[in-house]
Amino acid sequence: MPLKFVLRPNEKVIINGAVIGAGDRPGSFFLYNTANFLRGREVLKEEQIDCIEKKLYFVIQLVYIFPEDSTLNLQRFASILDETREARPDASKTLDEIARLVESRNYYRALKLCRKLFRTADGGSLDGGVADSAAGDDEDPPTTDRTP
């Protein structure tokens, strides 16, 4: 069964590293095979990192979007995860689950869970263009498949 997603006017999505944009009208798209993707509203830009939780999100995002650099980025992830554990001892269970998800290569769910840390870190707002779970990202995209 294909995964359907809708892009808002002028919204972008990254699918297996390629940036695809919608025109001036909303559009529905279907993914018929497994792929890595993030909608533009879920992408965190490096200049938007203003807390350790966003730094963790960003490195998971890099592993997810650029699997060719995953060895280096997974090393960075381990280091940033340790920093986050020190800064957020209150989030130890969530961080354990994020580590488990990354280890099992379920990066999208790890990102989704990491976003929840933003709320508790900055008093309730999700800024920086990263989607809130209420923004319609309840569907989980497939993880990876390089089949054309």
The predicted structure's pLDDT at residue 122: 52
Extract the residue ranges of the chain whose pLDDT is less than 50: 124-148
Task: Tell me the C-alpha distance between 137 and 77, whole Å.
Answer: 23
CB of 143 closer than 8 Å to CB of 34? yes
The predicted structure's pLDDT at residue 96: 98
- The 8-class DSSP code of residue 137 comes to -
The predicted structure's pLDDT at residue 77: 98
The predicted structure's pLDDT at residue 136: 40
- For residue 99, what are the contacts with CB-CB under 8 A and spacing of at least 6? 81
